[in-house]
A and B are shown apart, each in its own frame.
Chain A
Amino acid sequence: MARYAMVIDTKTCIGCGDCVVACKTENKVPAGLNRDWVVEATRGTYPDLTTEFRSERCNHCSHATCVYTCPTGASHYWRDSNIVLVDAAKCTGCKACIAACPYDARLIMHPDGYIDKCTFCHHRVEQGLDPACVSSCPTRCMHFGVLDDPGSHVSRLLKSRTYKVLLSETGNQPNVYYLI
């Protein structure tokens, strides 16, 4: 099973939101909906402060509770990888998967009634391209690749830097990493 991961460097992320617009246009996400978003976390009291920016999206969990909860198999893993996709032709719009995602809001309701979500741009990955968000980021703080290969760029980044994932305690084994 191929394990795709996104590694985002919070040291250089500036919270510009280019990743959000790039996703929007690349994937023709309906107006007013978003597959990714940017969070700014500020700690401290003026003037002793730190700020962290995080570009967030579906974590393409290795233990994806959304997939396990889906009653129809519409939410599924793509080609034996950890990329979680939704097949619109199987989706009933029961919304169980929305409730099942501990990251809250990792899936969005398409106006046509089915679930739409970050696909890790598998249509680009297939062609050997980076996801749209990754390839647009002006600070180049986003990285994408397979973790199975210890020599891959993302594997090396995770080896050489300290990192975190979001809500590791949920047990979902997310695959979006944040270098800190």
Chain B
Amino acid sequence: MIEEVLVTARSNPKIDPSLGIWSWEVPMYLFLGGLTAGIMCFAALIILLRKEDQAPWAAKKMAIWAPVLLTVGMGALFLDLEHKLYVYRFYTTFQISSPMSWGSWILLLVYPVSILLVLCSIRDAYPRIGGVIERFSAGRWITAFACYHRQQVATWSLVLGVFLGFYTGILLSAFSARPFWNTGFLAPLFLISGLSSAAALVVLGTRSQAERMMFTKYDIGLISLELALIALLLVNLATGTGVQLDALKNVMGGEFTTRFWLYFVFIGLLIPVVLNYREISGRRTWAFLSPVLVLYGGYMLRLVTVEAGQVSTWTRYTQSFDPVLLDLLR
């Protein structure tokens, strides 16, 4: 028997009894970031591939959700900071080795581009808002600029969208200290999930049956890809080091098994795929259900990953004493 115990009581919040630094805020931020990335990619692709007729909502109306959702996501991130007054410190430096620093600066680029993406279709998509903007000379000028450079704006949106989508995964996978996160599959998985969520958004948003069908089909592909990536991720952990195996146990019989398999994989991926199949084969169910579940699945993916990841660890000691007693001191 090996017994490794902490013989001095320790109850450092966020760390004991196991790492618990991030709750819903960061997963929400990652989810909305991924969704934003998906929105920008799809909107841009439709423009670049000149499929605006088949997918009018995705091409024009959807883009406005990018800055909105991103703002909400950043808000969630801000809520998570423990030292909120010092948030500006993200922008007084650039730390080349820190994914989070990269992320803060990428977001700074994503913002204007996403707004340009909105503006380049604003006259068609939201004439009233466009009208308000164009009452100002600067607004007129920028809208004209966006419309004129529509192709470039789309290209940049695509590039930054992919970056952003990858970034949401890399943010976690760069933590070599968290075995569950430390895998190369997280970045593509989060990107694909972001795209899948954006496709679901189209299905919810569009009034065109053709566009709905088109994106329902896309989503089948994306979800299947996502399932494949998840399988690879699990295999990757299963063939990894001892600590990765321990990490895998969290979702294979451990604390997060139900959340992962039932709430995420089953409800958030498998049910929507099935529903989507029924949809395209003409057997209509509640049309809104599948995309809602996909969006829910997108958030669950981040939530489960963040939760299972932060408790995955290189060390695990038993506490000799009940650390909760230390709360009597605080």
Contact = CB atoms under 8 A, between A and B. Distances in A.
A77 interface: no
A138 interface: no
Interface residues of B, number: 53
A56 B44 CA distance: 52
Interface in A60-107: 65, 68-74, 88-96, 98-105, 107
Contacts of A90: 86, 89, 92-93
Nearest to B306: A99
Given A45-B1, A96-B98, A102-B176, A33 B6 contact: no
Contacts of B209: none
A157 B16 CA distance: 34
B292 interface: no
Given A40-B7, A45-B1, A92 B310 contact: no
A167 interface: yes
Interface of B is mostly: loop
Contacts of B95: 68, 70-73
A17 B8 CA distance: 7
A175 B1 CA distance: 29
B21 interface: yes
B11 interface: yes
Interface residues of A, number: 54
B329 to A, nearest CB: 4
Nearest to B313: A104
A135 to B, nearest CB: 18
A99 B171 CA distance: 11
Contacts of B89: 72, 74, 90-92
Interface string B7-43: 1101111111001011000000000000000000000
B313 to A, nearest CB: 5
B315 interface: yes
Nearest to B330: A32
B81 interface: yes
A115 to B, nearest CB: 9
29 contacts: A15-B7, A17-B7, A32-B327, A39-B5, A41-B2, A41-B4, A42-B1, A44-B1, A65-B176, A69-B97, A70-B95, A70-B98, A71-B98, A71-B104, A88-B83, A91-B89, A94-B82, A95-B80, A99-B19, A99-B310, A102-B177, A102-B315, A103-B314, A104-B15, A105-B315, A109-B12, A113-B82, A114-B86, A170-B176
Interface of A: 15, 17, 20, 31-34, 37-45, 53, 65, 68-74, 88-96, 98-105, 107-109, 111-114, 166-167, 169-171
Given A42-B1, A102-B315, 6 more contacts: A40-B7, A69-B175, A71-B104, A99-B22, A109-B12, A112-B83
